[in-house]
Structure formats: structure tokens, C-alpha cells
Amino acid sequence: MKICVVTGANSGIGRAVALRLLGEGCKVYCVCGPSGKGVDFGCANAEVLTCDFRKREDIMKVLGAVKEDRVDILVNGAGLAFYGLSECMDPGNISDMVDVNVKAPLMITSALMQKIRKAEGTVINISSVTAGNFASPHGAAYGATKAALTSFGRSLFEEERKHGVRVINIHPDLTDTDLYRNADFTVTGEPDSTLFAEDVADFAEAVLGAREGMCVTEITLRPQKNRIVKKDKT
């Protein structure tokens, strides 16, 4: 049985990936944010943990709960986004994004690396299209945090490839999840104007199934059309 750790497992992409791994018979530590308390995955192989990813003590408790001496798959799926012009960004929101999107995955990955190395395992970072070659007006701070995560993943692969560890950055574009709850825009509802969490899970499953000795290090997923609208403020 493969041992997996998935953060942000209470909703969105993290939950879709966790469910996919559980469906494949893995044991999954489903690390949920504070709002995910009591989330049911309907599977005995799911060990549900809650964590405020902004707090170091919460992260250390999660790490202590992983008792096995190996971890086959780590998915850094927890994410937080606030949007707006840079000059209008709340300092607390910026700090929270850095904590959740950068500090937490770096701490978790670093702490689990010996176990991942023992399994010749895989680290998947759920980053963002904004981390690469696409500008993110009204989301510059969020994009910066995801760029940091992507940079970490690239360097980590170079450090760990000699140990058989694969590191994969997935860069989804606009995805129909709760990530955009703090945005002033929303998707139109057209199925070809947004990705779905299951789309990302599909590609996570595909790269995990790649033959031994070959690693897809980065992949960008985009909807066919770009259709967003301003939220109604009434």
C-alpha cells in the first residue's frame, strides 16, 4: 500500500487528488484546512487531519502524525489567494498567502524528504499558471507566492533526482474551485472556459503512472477559452 500525504484535501484540487489516490488503494493522510474539520472521504484508508497552514505548531503536529518510515507521494495542494491591485493589498492577506503557499509546503516537504527518498517517491506541487510566463494583474502577490513554489520544485528535483525522487510542478489556469472566493471576478459557467479539479487529478494520475526512469517535471493546464466576468456586488 502506498503512503500518501495530500494537503488542502478538504476541497478543490487537493480533494480531487486525494479521492483519486484513495480509489487506487493508497493510504492517504488527508490534511485539511481549518474549515475541513469533519470532512468525510468515505474510505477507511483516509486519515483526516486538520491544519492551520499559517501556524508552525499545526504543521509540526501533522508531520508527527505520519508514523510510517516512508512516504510514496506528497501532494502540496493547499492554497490561498487574495486578489486586487498591489497598492491595495492588505498586509495581513499577503502574509497569509506567503504562509500557506510558500512556507507550509517548503516546511512539509523538507521535513518529509527522508521518508520520500526512502520510497523513491514523488512530490507534486499544485502551483499556478501565474507562476510562469503569464502575468497576473490583480493577482501579483498570489502569483509571486506560486512562482516561489515552482522555483522550489525545480531546484528540489535537481537535488533529489539522484535519489530517485520525482518532483512535478502542475500549473493550472482558472479552475472551478473555491480558491476564487476572495476575487472580484468569477467564471461564466461555460464548460470550456474553466478547468475542473478532476482535470488536474487526471494529469496527476497520468504523471504518477509514468514509467520509472522518466519524469514529467512541469505541466501547464489551461481551459480552451478565457471567459471571466465581474462579480455582481449587489
- The 10s digit of each residue's pLDDT in 22-71 is 999 999 999 999 877 778 898 999 999 999 999 999 999 999 999 999 99
Q: Which of 29, 83, 142, 180 is catalytic?
A: 142
203 has pLDDT over 60? yes
188 has pLDDT over 70? no
Q: In this structure, what C-alpha cell is assigned to residue 144?
A: 509571486
pTM score, two decimals? Answer: 0.93
94 has pLDDT over 70? yes
27, 62, 98, 204 from 111: Cα distances, Å: 19, 11, 18, 22
**According to the per-residue pLDDT averaged within each range, which of 38-52, 80-94, 107-121, 167-181 is highest?**
107-121
Residue pair 77/13 in contact by the 8 Å Cβ criterion? yes
Give the integer Cα–Cα distance in Å for 23 and 117. 24
Query: Does the domain made of 3-230 have the CATH classification 3.40.50.11310?
Result: no
Q: Which residue has the cell 500518501?
A: 4
Q: What pLDDT does 233 receive?
A: 60
Q: What pLDDT does 186 receive?
A: 67
139 has pLDDT over 70? yes
Burial of 205 (0-12, 13-18, 19+ CB in 10 A): middle
Residues in the chain, how many? 234
Round the CA-based radius of gyration of the chain to a whole number and report it.
Answer: 17
Helix or strand run (H / E) with residue 143: helix 140-160
The pLDDT tens digits for 141-164 are 999 999 999 999 999 999 999 999
Domain spans of the chain? 3-230
21, 25, 48, 71, 131 from 2: Cα distances, Å: 9, 8, 16, 8, 30
Burial of 35 (0-12, 13-18, 19+ CB in 10 A): exposed
Q: Which residues pair with 28 in a beta bridge?
A: 4, 46
Higher pLDDT, 184 or 99: 99
Q: What pLDDT does 44 receive?
A: 94
Span between the terminal Cα atoms of the chain, in Å = 51
Residue range 176-197: average pLDDT? 77
Q: Is 142 a catalytic residue?
A: yes
Angle at 65 between CA 111 and CA 209, to 5 degrees: 65
DSSP 95-124: HHHHIIIIIHHHHHHHHHHHHHHHHT-EEE
Angle at 202 between CA 15 and CA 178, to 5 degrees: 35
